[in-house]
Structure 1
Amino acid sequence: MLKLHGTGVALITPFNDNSSIDFPGLEKLIEHVIHGGVDYLVVAGTTAESATLSKTEKKEVLEACIKYNAGRLPIVYGLGGNNTQAILDEIEETDFSQIDAVLSVSPYYNKPTQAGIIAHYSLIADHSPVPVILYNVPGRTMSNVSFQTTIQLAQHPNIIGMKEASGDLSQCMRIAARMPEDFLLISGDDILTPSMRVIGGQGVISVLANAYPEIFKTICHGNLDESKKAAFRLLDINPLMYEESNPVGLKFLMKELGICGHTVRLPLLPASESLKERIKNLKL
C-alpha cells in the first residue's frame, strides 16, 4: 500500500449557510489539496462531520469526491461507528469500485474491552472488499486501542494500518517495534508527524492539510530537518483547530483562505469571535 504513504487529507464537508452540502465548495477544496501535493483523500471521516450526514448525503459526498478527483489520487472512505452490525450493513450497501481502503474509527461511547475491539474490527475486515485502516482516537472515543490489540489485529490479512491519534509516542513506538513490515503506522496528530516518521511511521491523515497541503508535503516528504521545521510553523495555529471541537476552527480558517464557508452542523456551533480573531492573527 505504498500509494497510502505520505499525506492523507481528512476532507471537511463544506456546507452552505442553510446547512445543505456545498458541492462547488467541495470541488474547490479537492482542487486545492490535490494541487498542494497531498497523496490521498480521506472522505467522510470524522473531520467531515460524518456523524451529522444522512446515509444519502454520505453517499452523495462520496460520489462527488470520486467525480472531482477524477482518478488522480487514491480514496480512503470513512466507515466506522459503535454499532458493528450497522457498519456491516453499510459495507453491503457501498460501491467500492473506486475506493482504495476504509478508515474505521474505534467504537465510541460503548467503551468495549480490548477483546470486543478485536471482534469488532475482525468482522469489519472479514466483510470489507477493500483493505481496512484502524483509527485510534481515545480523546473522542473514551476507549484506547492498546498496542497489543493493534499488533494482534495487524495479523489480519485485510487490516493494513493504524491511524494513531492517542498522542502517546511510547504506545506508537511499541506498535512500530512489533508491527509487520508492510503495516502502515499513520500519524493521527498533525504536529507529531515528524516524530512518527522517526520511529517508522508512513505519514499522516491530517486535519490542517485541508488548509496547508504544501506544508504537509514538506512534513511528509522532506528530509527530517525540513519536516520538523515545517511542523514548527503550525505549532501556534494547530491547537485552535480543536479548541471548540474539530472542524470548527478549521472551517473558519478555510473561509479566511477563500476555499469554502465556515458553516458547521449542530450540535457544533461556528467559531466564537475570540477564536476567529486568534485564527485571523495566526493564519499562514
Structure 2
Amino acid sequence: MTSATHRTAWLAGCIPDLPTPFDDSDSIDLVALARLCERQIAAGCTAIVVGETAGEMATLTLDEHDAIVRAAVKTARGRVRVIAGAGSNSTSQAIELTRRSDAAGADAIMSVVPYYNKPMQSGISAHFAAVADCTELPIVLHDIPQRTMRVLADDTLLQLAVSPQFVGLRDGSGDITRPLRLRPLLRPGFRLLSGDDATAAGFATQGGDGWISMTAAVAPQLCRKLDDLRGHADLRSAQAIAGQLCRLTSALALDGTPAALKHALGLLGQVSARVRLPMVEPDTTAKATIAEVIAALYADMESCDVEHRLLLELSRL
C-alpha cells in the first residue's frame, strides 16, 4: 500500500511561483510561460505554481487562467506537477476556478484564505470544504494574512487536514515556529511549506518540508542547491547561498510583487517586464537595485551560461 507520505513526496523542496508573462499587446505570452516552465524543470523542481500570487491572478479572466494552466500542463508533460492557483474571496468563484483548473489538466490546486471579506474561522472552513466538494484534485491551502486580513488558525487547519484531499499548507505568515506546533498534530504526509522567502530557511529548520518561492522564479539553480544542502553538515556553503538569496529576496520585495520579479526576469531575457494595473513597473531606484543584485548574484556563480554572460554585461553598464 502506498503511504500518505509517499503520495505527497512531490510536494517538497523549492517550488517556484511563476509570473504570468504579458506581451506588448497585454495578451498572455504563452511562449514565454513555456520558457519559464522549462527553465524550472531543468533546475530539478518537482512542481510549479501558476496563476497564483506571482501570476497576477486577480487580473486574469477565466479564459486566460485556463490558458496558462493548459500551457503549463502541456509544457510539463508529466515531468513535474502543475499546481494551479484557484482561490478567490467568493466561494462560488473559487469553485469555478477549481473546476476549470481540473478540466485544464492541473495536478493540484492552491486555494487561498478568502480575502477582503474577513470571514470567521467557521466561514473559512466552510469555504474550503465547498471547494473540496467540487473536485478530486489535491488541495494546497494558502495562508497569507498580510494579504487576506484573516489567518488560517491552527485549529481550523487541523480540522481541514483530517481529509486526505488537503495535502499541504503554503504558510506565508512568516511564523517559523509553526511547523514545531503543527507537526505532532498533523496526519503523516501533510506537507508544511513556507510561502515567505525571507523566512523560508528558518521554517525548514523547524520541520518544514520546503517552500513555495518567487525568488526561485529568478534563481532556480541556487534555490535547488540550498534545498540540497538541507540536513547536511556543510553549514558554511548553505549560509553563503542563503546570503545570496536573501539579497535577491530583498530586491524582489521592492516596489511590489510581481513587478520587481518581472523586471528581474526581464533582465535575464526571460519575459517582458509588463504588469497589469493596478501594478506598475518598479521605479528607477528599485530597477537599479534589482540589476545590481542580480548582476552580483550571477557573477558569483561558477557556471558561465547565457544568463551569466548577459548579467556580466549588465554589471558593466
- TM-score bracket, shorter-length normalisation: over 0.9
Q: Give, in angstroms, the shift of residue 158 of structure 1.
A: 1.0
Which residue in 2 is equivalent to 1:259?
A: 270
1:107-126 equivalences under 5 Å are 107-126=114-133
Q: Which residue of 2 aligns with 1:194?
A: 201
Which has the higher mean CA deviation after the structures are superposed, 119-128 or 272-281? 119-128
The reply on whether 1:48 has 2:59 as its aligned counterpart is no
Cα deviations by residue, 1:244-264 (Å, 9 ceiling, x for unpaired): 221111101001111111000
- Which residue number corresponds to residue 250 of structure 1? 261
* Percent identity (aligned): 32
The reply on whether 1:213 has 2:224 as its aligned counterpart is no
Q: What SS does the aligned partner of 2:15 have? A: strand
Looking at structure 1, the residues matched to 111 and 230 of structure 2 have their Cα atoms a distance apart, in angstroms, of: 30
Tell me if the contact between 2:18 and 2:49 (Cα under 8 Å) persists in the aligned partners: yes
Structure 2 equivalent of residue 147 of structure 1: 154
- Unaligned 5+ segments in structure 1 are none
Distance 1:40 1:243 in 2: 26
Q: CA deviation at 1:109?
A: 0.4
**Alpha-carbon distance in structure 2 between the residues aligned to 1:32 and 1:21:** 18
Counterpart secondary structure, 1:276: helix
2:240 aligns with 229
SS at match of 2:177: helix
Alpha-carbon distance in 2 for matches of 1:228, 1:132: 33
Name which structure has the greater RCO, CA cutoff 8 Å, separation 6+: 1
The answer as to 2:173 corresponding to 1:166 is: yes
Q: Which amino acid aligns with 2:90?
A: N
Aligned to 1:88: 95
Contact 2:274-2:281 at 8 Å conserved across structures: yes
Report the alpha carbon displacement of residue 96 of structure 1 after superposing the two structures with TM.
4.3
Match for residue 78 of structure 1? 85
2:190 matched residue in structure 1: 183
Mapped pair 1:269 → 2:313? no
Give the number of aligned pairs.
284
Distance (whole Å) between structure 1 residues aligned to residue 35 and residue 100 of structure 2: 28
Offset, 1:176: 2.5
Deviations 1:29-76 (A, max 9, x none): 112111122221112112100110101111111111111222211111
**One-letter amino acid of the counterpart of residue 280, structure 2:** L
The AA in structure 1 aligned to 2:208 is G
Q: Which runs of 4+ in 1 moved over 4 A?
A: none
Distance change (3 Å), C-alpha of 1:122 and 1:270: same
User: Residue 60 of structure 1 is aligned with which of 63, 67, 76?
Assistant: 67
1:18 is aligned to 2:25: yes
Query: Structure 2: how far apart are the matches of 1:246 and 1:97?
Result: 26
2:109–2:137 Cα contact (<8 Å) kept:
yes
- Report the 3-state secondary structure (helix = DSSP H, G, I; strand = E; otherwise coil) of the residue aligned with 1:237: helix
Letter in 2 for 1:267: P
Q: Deviations over 1:125-167 (max 9, x none)?
A: 2222111110000111111111222112111221111000101
Contact 1:147 1:172 in 2 (8 A): no
* Deviation larger for 39-48 or 193-202: 193-202
* Partner Cα separation in structure 2 for residue 92 and residue 274 of structure 1: 42
Instruction: Label 1:70 to 1:282 Cα distance change in 2 as closer, same or farther (>3 A).
Output: same
Match of 1:99, SS state, is coil
Task: Mark the structure with the bigger radius of gyration.
Answer: 2
| Deviates further, 267-276 or 230-239 | 230-239
